[in-house]
Amino acid sequence: MPFRRQLYYLTIIALAWVAVAQPDLSAWFPAFGPVVPVQVAGPRQVLIVRESADDNPDLGRVLVALRNGEPAAYLKANGHSLLILDDDAKGPDGQPSQTLAAFAPFPVLPVLIVADPKADKVTLREPLPKDTAAVLDAIKRGGG
Amino acid sequence: MPLVIPDAFVNVDLDSFGFARGYFESGLPKAKRPNYGDKEPLVPESEWKARIDEMDAGNTGGDYLVTRIYDQNGEGSCVANACSQAVEVVQALQFGKDAVVHLSAMSLYKRIGSSPNSGASCDDGLDEICKVGVLPLDNPENRAKFGSAVMPNCGWRESYPANWEATAKRFRGTEWATCESVAEVISALLNRHPVIVGREGHSILYVRAAYRDGDLGAVYVNSWGRWGFAAGGFPDGFGFDTGRTLRSASDFAFALRAVCDQ
């Protein structure tokens, strides 16, 4: 078998192995390691979705704290908007909220979503942290 | 700012103040409505004290969602004022205190009262804020946003602007529950859900559970303008019901959990 054909088959076999086994090749090829998205900091649309029938004192404390004092001042100073909505929130027409529809579904509640409205993309989506400082940290990780 | 509850505004003798009130029980059979404890578990009584202490320490009571003190100005519209205040408090949580659209209690009272001082029932008020909604208050900010679809807070003889329903439905309650016990009212307040109550001929909005001299009661935001003690960052506007009054008010009250997304 000619060498070029052998090389061709070996390449096919190697690519198939990589596709199926998905080995971690970052040690051999650092340039092909996991891609870390670069967040461009800027104003963010922050959305907290929860089922208000499941509200509890811990969640209530965090939500009120986000609307007052330093947390509210931080959000305002950085141009972030924060919406806190029910997972089945309705619009004025009685239909499901369009804001929610843009970010659905919500398999885990309560959830924190941070979006970059300029880039029209979600930069962070994770279960809502249990204290106010952790919520602000998460917003910062989302570029806020 | 620590909550200080002066004696003068505890279980107030409403008659002695001479302000208008306007709450009455509808007298109709109480329609079956969802109860606060039907879906969400109530906060165990053993946790109340610690939860209230935590709320006091962090200034995270529902009074910190109040953005305005209403003034019913001598009319019997307390129920409409309490209901409209509840919508504003939930707006503050959902959209932020800067984004609250102040509302016209008169735009609600004209549908649930029959004269300037007839008064109204809380269940009628709740039904109307959830089915039809409330119009924005007539002020420069709201005029800029909503044009002529606004009304003042007082003035029984004010008429509705044209096509007012289309604007009012943007300010509707969407999730609520009936409270029929102290445990349900306290759980709602600890969860930061405002509670509309009527007692002794007057309707007010409970916004925070609190202890005073070891007695569990509720802080309410009143609709008598410059009256009461400081709370929620306001210099006045708040009163306190002790356990005795809280118990009498808790047999048929309404917790508002959500308003519609504007």
For residue B60, give the nearest of A65, A83, A98 by CB distance: A65
pLDDT above 80 for A38: no
Decide if pLDDT at A28 tops 70: no
Cβ separation A68–B94 shorter than 8 A:
no
Stretch A46-53: mean pLDDT, rounded? 97
* B96 chain-A contacts, CB cut-off 8 A: 67, 72, 81-82
> Per the CB < 8 Å rule, is A60 touching B262?
no
What's the mean pLDDT in A6-35? 69
Q: Please state, in angstroms and rounded to a whole number, the distance separating the CA atoms of residues B34 and B240.
A: 27
Q: Indicate the average pLDDT of chain A.
A: 88
Q: Do B60 and A86 touch (CB under 8 A)?
A: no
Smallest Cα distance from A42 to chain B, Å: 19
Contact yes or no for B193 and A52 at CB 8 A: yes
Burial tier of B152 (Cβ tally within 10 Å: 0-12, 13-18, 19+): middle
Flag if B190 and A83 touch (Cβ within 8 Å): no
Distance in Å, alpha carbon of B198 to nearest chain A alpha carbon: 23
Q: What is the pLDDT of residues A72-130, one digit of tens each?
A: 999 999 999 999 999 999 998 889 999 999 999 999 999 999 999 999 999 999 999 99
Order across the sheet with A121-127: list the strands.
Answer: A81-86, A45-50, A111-116, A121-127
CB contact under 8 A, B58 and A89: no
The pair of structure tokens assigned to B28 is 């109709």
Q: What is the pLDDT of residue A72?
A: 95
A residues 69-128 closer than 8 Å to B (CB): 69, 72, 76, 81-86, 89-93, 97-100
Residues 6+ apart with CB under 8 A from A135: A62, A66, A71, A112, A128, A129
Question: φ and ψ at B174, to 5 degrees?
Answer: -120, -25
| Residue contact A64–B192, C-beta within 8 A | yes
Nearest-neighbour CA in chain B from A122: distance (Å)? 20
Among candidate residues B97, B159, B119, B104, the one with its CA nearest the CA of residue B14:
B119
Q: Which amino acid is at A98?
A: Q
Q: What integer pLDDT is reported at residue B2 of this predicted model?
A: 78
Residues in chain A: 144
Contact B158, B75 (CB under 8 A): no
DSSP B257: E
Given CB atoms, is A49 within the 8 Å cutoff of chain B?
no
Full-model pTM: 0.89
* Chain-chain contact of A89 with B262 (C-beta, under 8 angstroms): no
Distance, CA of A98 to chain centre = 19
Whether A33 has a pLDDT exceeding 60, the answer reads no
Residue ranges of alpha helices (H) inside chain B are 14-17, 36-39, 45-58, 78-95, 105-112, 122-131, 140-146, 164-168, 182-190, 243-249
For residue A36, pLDDT over 60 is answered with no
pLDDT on residue B32: 65
Residues of chain B below pLDDT 50: none
B10 part of contact set with chain A, CB < 8 Å: no
* Residue A25: Cβ within 10 Å count: 11
Task: For residue range B101-138, list pLDDT tens digits in order.
Answer: 999 999 999 999 999 999 999 999 999 999 999 999 99
Place of tokens 């986000």: A66
Q: Strands B195-199, A45-50: parallel, antiparallel or unpaired by DSSP?
A: unpaired
Residues of chain B positioned with their CB less than 8 A from the CB of A103: none
- Identify the pLDDT of residue A41: 86
